[in-house]
Amino acid sequence: MPQGYLVENCAIDYVEAAASAATTTLTTDVLDMQGYDGVTFIAALGDVSDTSVLSLDVYHHTANAASGTAISGATAGATAGASDYDSKLLIVDVQKPSKRYVYATLARGTANAVVNGITAIRYKGSHSCPVTQGSTVMQLTKVQGGN
C-alpha cells in the first residue's frame, strides 16, 4: 500500500480552466491512465443560477482523444432549484476504467453557471513512487510535523 505524502502517490492535474457564466459544455484535457488504477474529477463551481442543471460526466477511449464513450454510472449531477449550489463541488471517482484514456465533460444546461476550474487526481499507481507532477502544478511544498 502506498505511504508517505499524498502528492507522492497520485498525479494532480488542472484539466479545465475557469469559465465565466454560460450554458456551454466544458471538456477537460484527456488523461493517460497507464500506471494508475483510478481517477477523481473535481469541478469547482462559482455562481450558479437557480434554474441551472449541471452534469459532470466521465468518458473513456482507447486513443488519446476526447471522442470516447461515457462510463456507465460515472456522473455527478445537480439541479440548482431552491438549493444553493454556489461555491460547491461536483465529484466523480472512477476506479479501473476499462480504456486507457479518460476525460470529463461538465454540461451547464438551462441557466448560467460559473466554473472555477476542474481538477483531476490519478491515484494508486502501480508504478514506482514518488510520482512526478505534471506541468499544471506550479509549486509543491511538503512539510512534516510542525509547531
Instruction: Give the span between the Cα atoms of 51 and 73, in whole angstroms.
Output: 24
Q: Taking the model in full, what pTM does it have?
A: 0.87
Planar angle of CA 25, 29, 33, nearest 5 degrees: 125
In a domain, 108, yes or no: yes
Select from 100, 104, 1 the least CA-distant residue to 44: 104
Average pLDDT over residues 118-142: 83
Q: Which domain holds residue 67?
A: 6-123
Average pLDDT, the chain: 87
Average pLDDT over residues 77-82: 60
pLDDT of 96 > 80? The answer is: yes
In a domain, 135, yes or no: no
In a domain, 64, yes or no: yes
pLDDT bracket for residue 110 (50, 70, 90): confident
Spatial neighbors of 65 by CB under 8 A, at least 6 apart, are 30, 101
pLDDT bracket for residue 1 (50, 70, 90): very low
| CATH code, domain with 108 | 2.60.120.200
Instruction: Give the span between the Cα atoms of 126 and 108, in whole angstroms.
Output: 35
Q: For residue range 39-72, list pLDDT tens digits in order.
A: 999 999 999 888 888 899 999 999 999 888 999 8
